[in-house]
């Protein structure tokens, strides 16, 4: 399966450290060789990098590692293809415009026999992930013809994700550039870093960072991943069916759902 990476922070923050660790899992320390992508929000703008090659060998990934882009919301993904061929069109994260905002989505898992109704949003590629993203936006568009906050969308998001989960494995990250919604079907972890900051060492490559030297006492940064990226910090595991909404590095809402039989 694939792996996810997300970040929510209260100040523009670079994610080079976590990104460097994740990229090793794309062909070096892990089997996810079928493409990678990462999106950085900058206000209403979204800076998107994608490459259908293995992230551990990608020159585009090396560029991102050398280019410390600062953002308050980030969504990243490395792919191990299950549904859909290996190509740029099938590379996460996927992006669509709705209500004058860039919506960004990445999925880990697989949905069996997933054929949602055709709506306004349609997939460009042939993955179940992009089909789910389009279906999710179509549900939102149907329920809310006018713009509302991500907070107001929670009932629709949770209901849809619970239905998708009943058809397979559905771990996902979704953002409109303001909040970051995360849903766990099987595997997701998070860590919130705040003062007093300390050092951390990556699991997948020999790299240490002293966060105290890179932050201020007021910074709050939450990183979400499929598996812990560091070996000397305590990561918190989501329960199956658990969802969380993050804003400014803090969890502003959360809950847990049961599987629909």
87 noted as active-site residue: no
Q: Residue written as tokens 């995360």?
A: 182
What mean pLDDT comes out for the span 17-26?
Answer: 92
Residue 49 has pLDDT above 60, yes or no: yes
pLDDT digits (tens, 9 = 90+) for 134-160: 999 999 999 999 999 999 999 999 999
Work out the angle at residue 74's Cα, subtended by the Cα atoms of residues 20 and 91, and round it to the nearest 5 degrees: 75
pLDDT recorded at residue 113: 87
Phi-psi region of 99 (alpha: psi -120 to 50; beta: other; left: phi over 0): left
Cβ–Cβ < 8 Å for 37, 92? yes
Question: Domain residues of the chain, as ranges?
Answer: 3-256
Q: What is the pTM of this model?
A: 0.96
Give the whole-number percent of the chain exceeding pLDDT 90.
86
Please give the CATH number for the structural domain made up of 3-256: 3.60.20.10
pLDDT digits (tens, 9 = 90+) for 173-183: 999 999 999 99
Cα–Cα nearest to 91, from 58, 136, 42: 58
Backbone phi and psi for residue 36, each to the nearest 5 degrees, phi listed first: -155, 165
pLDDT digits (tens, 9 = 90+) for 203-237: 999 999 989 888 899 999 999 999 999 999 999 99
Residue 1 has pLDDT above 80, yes or no: no
Catalytic-labelled residue, pool 2, 104, 161, 172: 2
Residue 84 has pLDDT above 70, yes or no: yes
């Amino acid at each position: 399966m694939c792996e996810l990476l997300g970040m929510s922070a209260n100040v523009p923050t670079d994610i080079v450290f976590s990104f460097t660790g994740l990229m090793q899992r794309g062909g070096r320390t892990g089997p996810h060789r079928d493409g990678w992508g990462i999106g950085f929000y900058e206000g209403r703008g979204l800076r998107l990098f994608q490459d259908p090659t293995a992230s551990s060998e990608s020159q585009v990934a090396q560029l991102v590692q050398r280019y410390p882009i600062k953002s308050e919301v980030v969504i990243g993904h490395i792919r191990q293809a299950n549904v859909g061929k290996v190509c740029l069109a099938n590379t996460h994260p996927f992006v669509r415009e709705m209500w004058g905002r860039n919506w960004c989505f990445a999925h880990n898992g697989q949905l069996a026999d997933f054929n949602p109704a055709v709506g306004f949003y349609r997939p460009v590629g042939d993955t179940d992930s992009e089909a789910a993203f389009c279906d999710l936006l179509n549900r939102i568009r149907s329920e809310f013809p006018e713009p509302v906050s991500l907070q107001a969308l929670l009932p629709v998001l949770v209901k849809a994700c619970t239905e998708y989960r009943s058809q397979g494995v559905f771990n996902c990250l979704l953002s409109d550039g303001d909040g970051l919604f995360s849903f766990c079907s099987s595997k997701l972890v998070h860590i919130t870093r705040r003062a007093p900051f300390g050092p951390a060492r990556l699991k997948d490559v020999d790299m240490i960072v002293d966060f105290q030297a890179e932050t201020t006492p007021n910074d709050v940064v939450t990183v979400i991943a499929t598996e812990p990226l560091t070996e000397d910090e305590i990561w918190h595991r989501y329960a199956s069916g658990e969802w969380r909404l993050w804003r400014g590095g803090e969890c502003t809402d959360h809950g847990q759902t049961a599987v629909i039989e």
